Amino acid sequence: MSQHLPVLIVVVPLLLAPLAALVGNWKAAWIVAAAASWWAFGVSIALVRRVLAEGTISYEIGGWAAPYGIEYRIDLVSAFVAMIVATIGAVAIIYARTSVRAEVSEDRGALFYSAFILCFTGLLGISVTGDVFNIFVFLEVSSLSAYALIAMGQDRRALTAAYQYLIMGSVGATFIVIGIGLMYSMTGTLNIADLAERLPAVADNRTIPVAFTFLTVGITLKLALFPLHLWLPNAYTYAPSAVTAFIASTATKVAVYLLLRFFFTVFGAEFSFEQMQLDKVLMPLALVAIVTMSLVAIYQDNVKRLLAYSSVAQIGYMVLGISFASVLGVTAGILHLFNHALMKGALFMAMGCVMYRVGSVRLERMKGLGKKMPWTMAAFVGGGLSLIGVPFTVGFVSKWYLVQAALERGMWPVAAVVMFGSLLAVIYVWKVVEVAYFQEADPDDDIREAPLGLLIPTWALVIASFYFGIDATTTADIATRAAEVLLGVGP
């Protein structure tokens, strides 16, 4: 069976999704979803190990040879991103059991888990497939289910948030499919490896730069790069807590993966960065995102929204790394994909714990929580330290590489902006800390610590964000090798 793992990581959850909807009862649906997530988690680890040992895996669906059939092609980048999605999914599903029960009405439980699996499957599918049209299909699978998941938030504003995301997301997806169509019209192929081979011959034709532009806009919309991030804050704020934690750690990450895949593998770094000068677009936008979005985060009163703006800023870090188009820079970007997934997952989960007990994540409701929910707030501080980039946290590792990449290019002002962003993070993290630890709680409410069903997954991510900050050699090694694969250098 093991040679079929590349496809089974997608097919098994895909088949389980309708099952979850059919069983009707939310408890049974949860078991199905948990099985799907943990299955994918196990397979993703196996795939990473296999890619590390044997190199890129190519799998032909139904035995149809590429480029005629659909090829699943898993190199180190794909495997790594799939692993991030699967890991977060596996943790989030445990968290969801308690959290969703409190936030989503019981009769929708089964549908929720069904949509959750679909979203998860779509994201995994994007990362493992080697076919651009297939990417589009999975993108739609994950996006449509994400809209549904967000709309299930308690707050009625979740509906408008989901609608906003739907419109923006669909525009993005349309741009992407137009880009893909234009490429197809010039090359007659949809297979990534094939495209990469044929594109240079037709690159002089105006159609290809147009396709490139459509893809750039579409993908940056999906990954919420400033100024195309407008859908994100509302979506993250009003979605159910478990959904926010999952989507914030995976959906934009997979969009970053798309950026890497299209601009490095399909078009090639030389075309993207030398001919089209993509870095001239990405770098300034990333820098503006880091500074302005961190500033906006400082002024938020709703902590989930604060974290959402912080996410837009953090996406700036990833894109900044990629825009250097150097091994160090891309390494920094890929590392931050993983690192940010851990820390933001932990932070949103901590906010889910607050939501569970307090019923709101507005700052004024969080007074004195440091005493009342010590473990939850400690988790928040842990994740916050990572966001700041304190040593021994994953955030530090990302910054170490990112600054190095900037200095390697002699761009010390860029390095200074990265540091400046960290300092802004200090402010918005500390804003929450001060309310939770320095303000007296209302003596009337009897708020207790969150249940273990929420604390354990939260702390799992917090501990991971310290573990991979203390021993970053494994992740840094994988990220460096992935960057070398993308840039076509090294072994």
Partner 1 sequence: MTPGVLIATAMLLPVAGAFALLFWDKKPNVREAVTLITGAATFWHVYQLLPLVRSGLRPRLDLFEVLPGVQLAFEVEPLGMVFALVASFLWPITSLYAIGYMRGHHEENQTRFFFFFAVAIAGALGVAFSANLFTLFAFYEVLTLCTFPLVTHHQTEEAKKAGRIYLGILLTTSIGFQLLAIIWTWVLAGTVDFTDGGILAGTASAGVLSAILVLYVFGVGKAAVMPFHRWLPAAMVAPTPVSALLHAVAVVKAGVFTVLKVAVYVFGIDLLATLSATPWLAWVAATTIILGSLVAMTKDNLKARLAYSTISQLSYIVLGAMLANEWGIIGGGMHIAMHAFGKITLFFAAGAVMVAAHERNISQMHGLGRRMPITFGAFFIGALSIIGLPPAGGSWSKWFLGMGTLEAGQVGLLAVLMVSSLLGLYYLLEVPVKAFFFKPPADAHHAEGIHEAPMPMVIAMVVTATATLGLFLYPDLVFELMAMVIPGGAQ
**Exactly one of 254, 397, 432, 487 binds partner 1 (CB under 8 A); which one?**
397
The dihedral formed by the CA atoms of 248, 422, 315 and 209, expressed in degrees to the nearest 10:
180
Is 477 an interacting residue with respect to partner 1 (CB under 8 A)? yes
Interface of this chain with partner 1, residues 243 to 302, rule: CB under 8 A: none
**Exactly one of 60, 140, 155, 408 binds partner 1 (CB under 8 A); which one?**
408
- DSSP one-letter code for 389: T
In this structure, how many other beta carbons lie within 10 angstroms of the beta carbon of residue 49?
12
Of the candidate spans 34-42, 165-173, 310-318, 423-431, the one that interacts with partner 1 by CB under 8 A turns out to be: 423-431
**Three-state SS for 451?**
coil
Which H, E and C letters describe 285-323, residue by residue? HHHHHHHHHHHHHHCCCEHHHHHHHHHHHHHHHHHHHHH
Number of residues binding to partner 1, judged by CB under 8 A: 32
**Exactly one of 90, 388, 455, 486 binds partner 1 (CB under 8 A); which one?**
388
Is 375 an interacting residue with respect to partner 1 (CB under 8 A)? no
- Bridge partners of 57, per DSSP, are 74
**Closest approach of Cβ 391 to partner 1, in Å?**
4
Q: Would you say 340 and 318 are in contact if contact means Cβ atoms under 8 Å apart?
A: yes
**Closest approach of Cβ 370 to partner 1, in Å?**
10
Is 372 an interacting residue with respect to partner 1 (CB under 8 A)? no
Instruction: Please give the C-alpha separations between residue 428 and each of 131, 171, 348, in angstroms, as whole numbers.
Output: 41, 32, 14
Is 420 an interacting residue with respect to partner 1 (CB under 8 A)? yes
**Exactly one of 106, 197, 434, 442 binds partner 1 (CB under 8 A); which one?**
434
**Exactly one of 403, 450, 464, 486 binds partner 1 (CB under 8 A); which one?**
403
Closer residue to partner 1, CB minimum distance, 146 or 476: 476
User: How many Å apart are CA 123 and CA 338, to the nearest integer?
Assistant: 15
User: How many Å apart are CA 375 and CA 372, to the nearest integer?
Assistant: 9
Is 472 an interacting residue with respect to partner 1 (CB under 8 A)? yes
Closest listed residue to residue 23, CA positions, set 11, 12, 31: 31
Interface of this chain with partner 1, residues 438 to 457, rule: CB under 8 A: 438
Is 74 an interacting residue with respect to partner 1 (CB under 8 A)? no
**Exactly one of 66, 182, 217, 476 binds partner 1 (CB under 8 A); which one?**
476
**Exactly one of 38, 375, 400, 467 binds partner 1 (CB under 8 A); which one?**
400
**Closest approach of Cβ 332 to partner 1, in Å?**
11
Residue spans of alpha helices (H) in 188-240: 192-202, 207-222, 231-238
Is 430 an interacting residue with respect to partner 1 (CB under 8 A)? yes
Q: Torsion-angle region of residue 360: left (phi > 0), alpha (psi -120 to 50) or beta? A: beta
Q: Which two tokens stand for residue 38?
A: 């943990």
The contact set with partner 1 (CB under 8 A) reads 385, 388-392, 397, 399-400, 403-404, 407-408, 412, 415-416, 419-420, 422-423, 426, 430, 434, 437-438, 470-473, 476-477, 480
